[in-house]
Structure 1
Amino acid sequence: MNITTLGEARFPSPQRRTVNDQARVSSHLIRDPDAPPVEELWFELAGPRARLFFDPRQTRAGIVTCGGLCPGLNNVIRSLFLELHHGYGVREVLGFRGGYQGLDPARGMEPFVLTPAFVHDIHKDGGTVLGTSRGPVEVGVAVDHLIRRGVNILFTLGGDGTQRGGNDLFQEAQRRGHPLAVVGIPKTIDNDVAFVSRSFGYLTAVEEATKVLHCAHTEAHSVRNGIALVKVMGRHAGFIAAGATVASQDVNFTLVPEVPLQLEGETGLLAALKQRILQRAHALVVVAEGAGQEWLAASGGKRDASGNIKLQDIGPFLRERIERYFQAEEIPVTLRYFDPSYLIRSVPADAEDSILCDFFARNAVHAAMAGKTGLVIGLLHDLFIHVPIELLVSRKKHLDLGGPGWRAVLAATGQAFGEDAGPIRTTPVSPSAT
């Protein structure tokens, strides 16, 4: 996986320990001789290089946060600045405000000039001090603005749409001959980014979702025939639902996008839920937001400002179907519905995610100062890597239904309804389908 470099690295690095630029990490940790051949990719190992492309004394960097909130954004901003400022002596770091709109002077606000005092306590709060928005910016206008501001490095914190936008900025700067290093840091609590074994904010989101499950279980368990239905985030992958289920150990049914939802019939969810109520008089159901979309009216291909296909709301649909089913069965139930979607993403990062944010940020700085561009920092086998943006946004990561994570869900819930959809792994997608 070759990474674009802006040119010859001529300046000595102030970093004492550096990484060989030829070091590579394989995409596969285990090779099964009995399994069919699989694509093997080799990625650049992230870390400080011995020589830099940019002279730190003449370098100005920018940071932008885009899309939805995620625990740890402020941690990443803080660590980016601290590594640039203290680790390399970069002269100035700008914080562009309001997402990509901040790169358009006609729409955006004046950027912050980051200082040690400015970032001192920001990691203790959720959200992003820079603000965020969805949607792209006109590439030519943004590059004009970056050139006018004298920005040499841009760090883009966001999901697929954000990184595609970063790639467009890098390509436009290349066409103009402007040496702009664009380095992305993948951001999503859904944990569905390819070549990133765990995205920052995911474990914090799971922890917060687990707290909600505990409350929901208390509600269901405290009344006769109580049912608690909890909807969590997860558009295309059920990692939060699965992780919270295993952490909670109180969930009885976990519904994820990777498994088609069988609702009706003797082997469907409703029949299984009835048996649970008759036997135990309470139940806890967790559903990821992207699950069961086949039961809902199509959105007609409508997309949000980030280019994501708009999902229909599975939560109220499932609540109505469960209530109607038990009414028809003449079994009185008390159903409580919980939707903590935005609650679990707006909190500060926990200790584990705070450490991960710091590592992502510092490796992004190392790559940018060496003149590497058009890449996103990835994480495989506990090693940080450089992933070309075009490769990263070409595929999604999904729950492996044959792997230990999903097996743990089945063991914790004991659910046995519907059909086994088989293992689903990282699969290519077209950019328009993301």
Structure 2
Amino acid sequence: MENYELDFSIERLGECRIPSPVRGIRFMDDDGHVLYFSRFEEMNPWLEKGIRPPAMETAGPREKIFFDPSQIACGIVTCGGVCPGLNDVIRSIVLSLHHHYGVRKVYGFRYGYEGLVSRHGHAPLELTSDSVARIHEIGGTILGTSRGPQDASEMVSTLEDLKIGILFTVGGDGTQRGAQKISEEAARRGLPISVIGIPKTIDNDISYIQTTFGFETAVAEARRATYAATTEADAARNSIGLVKLMGRDSGFIAAYSVLVNSHVNFCLVPEVPFSLEGFCEALRQRLERKGHAVIVVAEGAGQGLMEKTAERDASGNVKYGDIGVFLRDAIKGYFKQSNLEVNLKYIDPSYIIRSMPANPRDAAFCLLLGQSAVHAGMSGRTNMVVSYWNQQFTHVPIKLAVSQRKKIDTRGMLWNSVMAVTRQPDMM
């Protein structure tokens, strides 16, 4: 999407007439915005034409709200894979609804969007401040999760039956596409239902969002795996430590794991194609020079090297080959043919990382995301996700957030830094 097409306008259900019950904080002005661009030279084309540069609406509490807190019920659903911070977000939403606005009826829908379809038989949980008091101390989601779409009409009927005014959807781009359909179906029926997304992707790959929750915890935990691989590689002659990390279409976790542990020698990500022959030759040269090597590979890297499949998962994504196992076997086969004995240790910590509780900074981030989502919903905004951009919390329309996957800019500072740290050759 070209920058001139960017429209960060947020849908609203109607005029806000009710004084907010929130006390002791500064209310945000509806005219407050955060610039999309961070560098002055990027704004020049707009400024020279006298056009306002693209900007996102600032998140936060409003002085007047749309919903009457004494009359409204709210719902929360978590979808997709587990991720550090899910329970923190649930807890933040419930506590903010209860303590900031006095909302007493909050439902937690079980097992993703299945919980919004009555024929699946998943009775919703009633969430209270007491029931969520300690859930941030454990990983996963107390609501359960699932993948795959459900019928928007059936889901909206459930919301209507339970008199839900705000639905909070916690999940990745597939989840938010479902949220968009729910919002559109509610609007078609003339129902005043606010749908607010909290972007969840451990891969940090949702567009127009600087950072997603759980990403920092994932990088911190990935460091344990790269440390173990480094220790193993240092311990024996011609030893190789190979670590596979999350990153289906974007290699942010792999890239940052390199920067927090400068012992990694090769970083393979989906954004940078490589040839198996070129990689193995570079690896051989590394072993000849140093006697050991550490490799980090994102799960979506090197898919062109493996046999393609037409299979899809429940979310509709093409099933990828296991690049970690493929590389492990390919490296062993290459050096066997070269008559060079190597000692390779393969580590895949993906599910260990996903199941971890959020670290302190992620936990605080989740708290602020949840509060921002509640403020947005109570003010009648809908069909949007809470974003974090240029160090501030903002609002972004769902249609923009799901328009494309965020990827590493291979000409940008991040990848340039990875190349400088690893000193790996160009293997494209």
User: Which TM class, normalised by the smaller chain length?
Assistant: over 0.9
Q: CA deviation at 1:19?
A: 0.7
| Pairing partner for 1:14 from 17, 21, 24 | 21
**Change over 3 Å in CA distance of 1:144–1:406 after alignment to 2:** same
In structure 2, C-alpha distance between the alignment counterparts of 1:307 and 1:324, rounded to whole Å:
34
- Give the drift of 1:320: 1.4
Are the aligned partners of 1:53 and 1:371 in contact in 2 as well (CA < 8 Å)? yes
Counterpart for residue 4 of structure 1: 11
Distance 1:37 1:397 in 2: 24
Q: Secondary structure at the match of 1:234?
A: coil
- Structure 1 residues 272 and 363, CA gap change in structure 2 (3 angstroms): same
State the 1:108 CA deviation.
3.8
Distance in 2 (CA, whole Å) between partners of 1:283 and 1:9 is 60
Question: Is the partner of 2:119 in helix, strand or coil?
Answer: coil
Q: Structure 2 matches for 1:94-105, cutoff 5 A?
A: 94-105=107-118
Shifted more, 347-356 versus 19-28: the winner is 19-28
Q: 1:208 aligns with which of 196, 199, 221?
A: 221
Query: What are the Cα deviations for residues 238-278 of structure 1, in whole angstroms up to 9, with x where unaligned?
Result: 000001111111111000011111221xxx11111101111
Residues 316-355 of structure 1: matches in 2 within 5 Å?
A: 316-355=325-364
Paired residues in the alignment total 415
Aligned residue runs from structure 1 range 299-318, under 5 A: 299-300=309-310, 302-318=311-327
Query: How many Å apart are 1:285 and its aligned residue?
Result: 0.5
2:386 is the counterpart of 1:377:
yes
Which of 289, 292, 295 is 2:305 aligned to?
A: 295
2:39 to 21, 30, 39: 30
Structure 2 residue runs without a partner (length 5+): 1-7
Q: 1:224 to 1:35 in 2, by over 3 A?
A: farther
Preserved CA contact (<8 Å) 2:372 2:393: yes
Tell me the distance in 1 between the aligned counterparts of 2:43 and 2:399.
Answer: 31
Give the Cα–Cα distance (whole angstroms) in 2 for the partners of residues 33 and 235 of structure 1.
30
Where in structure 1 do 4 or more consecutive aligned residues deviate above 4 Å? 33-40
Give the one of 267, 280, 285 matched to 2:295.
285
Counterpart contact for 2:43–2:53, Cα < 8 Å: no
Structure 1 Cα separation of the partners of residues 104 and 130 of structure 2: 16
Q: How does 1:18-97 map to 2 (within 5 A)?
A: 18-32=27-41, 41-97=54-110
- Identify the residue that residue 148 of structure 2 maps to in structure 1: 135
**Could you tell me the TM-score, scaled by structure 2's length?**
0.94
Question: How far, CA to CA, are the matches of 2:44 and 2:243 in structure 1?
Answer: 38
After TM superposition, give the deviation of residue 27 of structure 1 in Å.
1.0
Distance 1:21 1:141 in 2: 34
User: Partner of 1:219: helix, strand, or coil?
Assistant: helix
Structure 1: segments with no counterpart, 5+ residues: 420-434
Q: Using a 3 Å threshold, how does the CA distance of structure 1 residues 297 and 72 change in structure 2: closer, same or farther? A: same
1:183/1:375 contact within 8 Å kept: yes
CA shift at 1:303, angstroms? 2.0
Deviations 1:1-21 (A, max 9, x none): 221111111100123421111
Partner of 2:5: none
| Bigger Cα displacement from structure 2, 386-395 vs 22-31 | 22-31
Take 1:403 and 1:36, find their aligned partners in 2: how far apart are those partners? 21
Provide Cα deviations, 1:32-84, integer angstroms capped at 9, x if missing partner: 36998899532111111110100001010000000001100000000000100
Match of 1:430 in 2: none
d(CA) in 2 for partners of 1:408 and 1:36? 29
Q: In structure 2, which of residues 383, 399, 403 is the aligned counterpart of residue 394 of structure 1?
A: 403
Shift of 1:319: 1.1
Deviations 1:263-317 (A, max 9, x none): 21xxx111111011111111111100011111111122x3211122211111111
Query: Which residue is equivalent to 2:281?
Result: 271
Paired letter, 1:215: A
Measured against aligned partners, the alpha-carbon deviations of 1:406-431 in whole angstroms (never above 9, x if no partner) come to 12211221112324xxxxxxxxxxxx
Report the alpha carbon displacement of residue 139 of structure 1 after superposing the two structures with TM. Answer: 1.1
Decide whether the 8 Å contact of 1:191 with 1:199 is kept in 2.
yes
Q: SS of the residue aligned with 1:182?
A: strand
Q: Deviation per CA, 1:133-160: give whole Å up to 9, x if none.
A: 0011111111111110111100000001
Aligned to 2:4: none
Which structure 2 residues correspond to residues 171-320 of structure 1 after superposition, within 5 A? 171-264=184-277, 268-300=278-310, 302-320=311-329
- Distance in 1, Cα, partners of 2:42 & 2:148: 45
Distance in 1 separating the partners of 2:45 and 2:269: 27
Helix, strand or coil: the match of 1:336? strand
- Map of 2:419 onto structure 1: 410
Residue 3 of structure 2 is matched in structure 1 by none
Counterpart residue identity of residue 242, structure 2: L
Local SS of the residue matching 1:418: coil
- What one-letter code is carried by the residue in structure 2 that aligns with 1:407? N
* 8 Å contact from structure 1 (residues 272, 417) kept in 2: no
The one-letter amino acid of 2:155's match is A
User: SS where residue 63 of structure 1 aligns?
Assistant: strand
* TM-score normalised by L of structure 1: 0.93
CA distance in 2 between partners of 1:417 and 1:141 (Å): 51
Residues 198 and 379 of structure 1 are in contact (CA less than 8 Å); yes or no, is this contact kept in structure 2?
yes
SS where residue 61 of structure 2 aligns? coil
How far, CA to CA, are the matches of 2:44 and 2:281 in structure 1?
A: 37
Partner of 1:364: 373
Contact 2:37-2:43 at 8 Å conserved across structures: no
CA 1:33–1:360 in structure 2 vs 1: closer, same or farther (change >3 Å)? closer
